[in-house]
Amino acid sequence: MFPSNHQFSSQPRALAVVDSTIQMQVDLNEASFVERDEMQNIGFSQAKSIIESSEKLKDDLQMLGMKIKQHEDSMRLLEAQKNKLDDSILDMQVMLGKHHSSSAPKIENKDHSHLQSEEETIEQILRHEKSAAGILCQLKTRHGTQASHLTLTKDVLGLVATLGKVDDENLSRLFSEYLGVQTMLAIVCKTHEGIKALETYNQDGCLDKTSGLHGLGASIGRPLDGRFLVICLESLRPYAGDFVADDPQRRLDLLKPRLPNGECPPGFLGFAVNMIHVDSSNLFYVTASGDGLRETLFYNLFSRLQVYRTRAEMVLALPCISEGAVSLDGGMIRSPGVFSLGSREEVDVRFPKSSATSDVPQNYIETEKQMKEMRWEKEKLEEDTKRELALLNNAKFNFERKKQDFVKFLAQSSSYATQHQFQAARDRLTPR
């Protein structure tokens, strides 16, 4: 009996030990779970802080980027306003310069005080007796308006020398020399049909001197010798840009030359194509497409030929000269790198003087006042531009500094994320 009683008394003690061990394991697991939950909560909190900081840096960068764009837009607007003022000031200077035409340098010391009339230009053409232009002028002189109804001449608009006029004798001589006598005597036709009427060929392809302009010359005792130029308007590529607003002469709105510093070259007076006066009847619908003589004939003859007051000012403006230039004292640049040197050539066929009213403003004092106001406004714009540039540079500096902070923050947060991922992986591998 005693052995049996001793055996019963030891079982409860063993059970107590087992229960105690199990309880200790449960307590350890719970502590591990709690510690892991606390670590996760800390990780979530830090991740949230990283995201919030990242978003704030992004917002700051975006705000600074918008400021930079606003300042750049303001700079462009100020520059456009300044350039517009420069053009207006230059136009007024040209107008006032015409008022003081006596101060313009002369090409020669000869007396050219008289202004050439259209009749004088016709007389100059008639002196070229055996030229195509001379024969046409002779026909018009003898038969008047009836000559324009002939098959030979009905498509002929005129001669280069008679289709344009200028306001200044000096410019007339200069432009005539630039074009040369052969171009000044060129016949201008509206269509290619007019060119075919002027000259015909036989079956062998040889020139038929009994018809066309050759036959006409022979019939009046002025046989046509040599070649002559004929310009077909419908075959020319017209100017494709805008025109000066509210200008009755429909001058071309060409961009004025600019030096590397953005300023217009000193002494620049304008473009030759815009200094030609065109009769109102030839300003519109000369061609089937509705183009006038300025954007077809004279744009192809002069293109963007620039006019300067003196040769010295023209040479200083060389970086801005893209298609040739001339100066009032006789300087001439045919094209970039091609200079006409030596004594000037006296061309005996010149543009006549325009009979149109002068473009000089009636109220000279008011024009000067407006120009002074524009110069004052330009100075104010320049100050605004300097201030805007300082703000732009400051915004760019702050943007670069904030960007460096953002890059540094990304590197630090990436390092933390790597450590957190390693810790999470280790926790997953730890037995519960």
State whether 276 and 402 are in the same domain. Answer: no
Least confident of 53-57, 113-117, 349-353: 113-117
379 in a structural domain: yes
Encoding tokens for residue 298?
């004279």
pLDDT tens for residues 287-300? 888 899 999 999 99
| Helices 118-126/132-143 angle, 10° precision | 120
pLDDT score of 423: 57
State whether 350 and 373 are in the same domain. Answer: no
Query: Region 33-37: what's the mean pLDDT?
Result: 51
395 in a structural domain: yes
197 in a structural domain: yes
pLDDT score of 117: 82
State whether 87 and 223 are in the same domain. Answer: no
Q: How far is Cα of residue 24 from the mean position of the Cα atoms in its chain?
A: 87
pLDDT score of 35: 52
State whether 342 and 220 are in the same domain. Answer: yes
Residue bearing tokens 């590197």 = 411
289 in a structural domain: yes
State whether 295 and 394 are in the same domain. Answer: no
Task: Single out the residue in 338, 355, 372 at which a domain terminates.
Answer: 355
Nearest to 273 by CA among 232, 324, 229: 324
29 in a structural domain: no
**326 pLDDT above the threshold of 90:** yes
Per-residue pLDDT band for 25 (boundaries 50, 70, 90) equals: low
Nearest to 118 by CA among 347, 285, 323, 352: 352
State whether 368 and 254 are in the same domain. Answer: no
The chain-wide mean pLDDT, for the chain, equals 78
DSSP string for residues in 212-257? HHHHHHHHTT----S---EEEGGGS----S-B-TT-TT--B-PPPP
Query: Region 75-80: what's the mean pLDDT?
Result: 87
**12 pLDDT above the threshold of 60:** no
pLDDT score of 243: 92
State whether 72 and 121 are in the same domain. Answer: no
State whether 85 and 134 are in the same domain. Answer: no
CB under 8 Å, gap of 24 or more: what pairs does 74-81 form? 74/388, 75/385, 75/388, 75/389, 75/392, 78/381, 78/384, 78/385, 78/388, 79/262, 79/385, 81/381
Q: What percentage of the chain has pLDDT greater than the value 90?
A: 26
State whether 93 and 145 are in the same domain. Answer: no
Query: Region 174-195: what's the mean pLDDT?
Result: 93
> Residues for the chain: how many in total?
432
Which amino acid is located at 195 in the chain?
A: I
Nearest to 170 by CA among 278, 267, 308: 308
pLDDT tens for residues 342-383? 888 888 889 988 765 444 444 565 676 677 678 778 888 888
pLDDT score of 43: 53
371 in a structural domain: yes
Least confident of 98-107, 243-252, 399-408, 409-418: 98-107
**Domain count for the chain:** 2
Task: Single out the residue in 332, 355, 378 at which a domain terminates.
Answer: 355
Least confident of 19-23, 137-141, 244-248: 19-23
Type and span of the H or E element at 62: helix 2-99
State whether 236 and 192 are in the same domain. Answer: yes
pLDDT tens for residues 229-252? 999 999 999 999 999 888 888 999
**286 pLDDT above the threshold of 90:** no
Cα–Cα distance between 281 and 158 in angstroms, integer? Answer: 13
State whether 221 and 290 are in the same domain. Answer: yes
Q: Which domain holds residue 147?
A: 112-355
376 in a structural domain: yes
State whether 89 and 177 are in the same domain. Answer: no
Per-residue pLDDT band for 3 (boundaries 50, 70, 90) equals: very low
